[in-house]
A and B are shown apart, each in its own frame.
Chain A
Amino acid sequence: MSACEQHRNIDMYEWDFIAVFSDIDLLALGLLNTLKVTSLALLFGIPLGLMLAVSRLSRFKPLSFSASFIIEFFRTTPPLVQLFWFFFALPILIDIRMTPLIASVLTFSIQSSAFFAEIFRGGIQSIDKGQWEGAKAIGMNYWQSMRRIILPQAVKRMIPAFMERSIELLKTTTLVSTVAYTDLMYQANDLAQKTFRPLEVYTVVAVMYFILIFVFSQVSLLIEHRLARSGESTVR
């Protein structure tokens, strides 16, 4: 194809979204699965992250060391490597029937828990030492102080970082398409091959992701502003 012909080709490219929209239910299913993986990963990742954070803050060295190691390991290795490991390697190590969904949820629960752990830790450490003392002075033990006094305040401060991480998670779940989980990205690949319309398909999917993530970001910004305005009324 000569340069001139190619040039003409561009001018003549006719966008055709009909093929995409006639199969929009495929993409809708993908979107649903994307949200499914994301919410399952959040469901397991957040409590796991809290456990890791509290372990890392523990004065019991072996516990704090192993928590730190898990956190740092999952923060410094690429999620795609983790996903491949859980999908291809783990089933050999322990005899379970691995499905794309299990591998995806497993990977992203643990991966995001490492990041959530650091958010929790930051939040807990940001609370004034006097709050621990105030709780201690009325006879509360470590867990009572943590549950009743420290966490309720820390969680409020963590919300922005928390939302940001959840949005990152949502974006990262596109990787599950590489192990053939039928998320939005996977459905897009499928549809692009079927319709021979990659430009339209990938553009539509990019826009879908954009709208989804943009809306989430705006909501989180709104919450952040509201929190900032209400002021995190710390004593002093």
Chain B
Amino acid sequence: MPNETVKLAQVYKSFGELEVLKGIDLTVNSGETVVMLGSSGSGKSTLLRCINFMETPTAGHIYLHGDRVGAEKSGKIYYRESELCKLRSKIGMVFQHFNLFPHMTVLQNVMEGQITVLKRGKSESIQKAQAQLERVGLLDKADEYPSRLSGGQKQRVAIARALAMDPEVMLFDEVTSALDPELVGEVLKTMRQLAEDGMTMVIVTHELGFAYHVANRVLFLDDGVILEQGVPHDILKHPKTQRMREFLEGHSLFKLPE
């Protein structure tokens, strides 16, 4: 399969006694937009964070473009920090709380990874950073500090920062949950644009409308397993399981188009 970007095989994750992921198999193809739904504690954020090893899986394998991450020695998998850093530099991630660097300007935020990690030259980094800021519509804020931006603007800068690394896949971890309602739209619009540009994306969100309109595939996680998955129309309109129905009823404020 040439266009398989990320593959997870039998991924388990425990925090102490608590088993959060119980054997996840997932393949994300190039250009695909996958949205993960699930109530809090279902393991969706942990799953997302395992893809770029913000959390190290307790068991299982993760592949990027068919290459398995980590080296196996006598049945145990070992991960070197340098290998994980390299991996993370190819996978963009956007967080709920932005995590912008407050001591750097917007432009410097977007340049930082290019210079420190990718060792790009300064002028190239500036060019790339400006291009990505333009893409998220914030080029005019390049010299501001993050503290002067609105939540929605911060999140778009965070997206630009990830994009500037030329990632092969982008991970979004509840990126609109900390935003005021009126600011959610601008971030979703940016993400939709990315999807239309053919970016490979894995998204954890509560925005069912976004899932319905933008996702190629929707997963429903419950208690550490993928309970249902399918194209948005099928899964959101005709859930097969009781758990999924309950979950959708919990979001009754949202009306799916008839």
A binding-site residues for B, Cβ under 8 Å: 128, 130-131, 133-142, 144, 148-149, 152-153, 156, 231-236
Contact = CB atoms under 8 A, between A and B. Distances in A.
A134 B98 CA distance: 8
Interface string B190-223: 0000000000000000000000000000000000
A130 B95 contact: yes
Given A144-B117, A235-B147, A235-B154, A133 B103 contact: no
A234 B165 CA distance: 24
21 contacts: A128-B99, A130-B99, A133-B54, A133-B95, A134-B95, A135-B101, A136-B54, A137-B54, A137-B95, A137-B162, A139-B85, A139-B87, A139-B117, A141-B85, A142-B81, A148-B116, A152-B103, A153-B102, A233-B102, A235-B102, A236-B98
Secondary structure call for the A interface: helix
Contacts of A142: 81
B89 A138 contact: yes
B243 interface: no
Nearest to B98: A235
Interface string B172-194: 00000010000000000000000
A232 B178 CA distance: 21
A27 to B, nearest CB: 43
Most chain A Cβ neighbours within 10 Å, of B93, B103, B154, B161: B103
Nearest to B52: A137
Given A139-B117, A140-B113, A236 B97 contact: yes
Question: How many of chain B's residues touch chain A, expressed as a range?
Answer: 20 to 34
Contacts of A236: 97-98, 178
B82 interface: yes
Most chain B Cβ neighbours within 10 Å, of A131, A137, A149: A137
Most chain A Cβ neighbours within 10 Å, of B82, B97, B102: B102
B54 A148 contact: no
Given A137-B54, A138-B161, A141-B81, A130 B113 contact: no
Nearest to B86: A139
B100 interface: yes
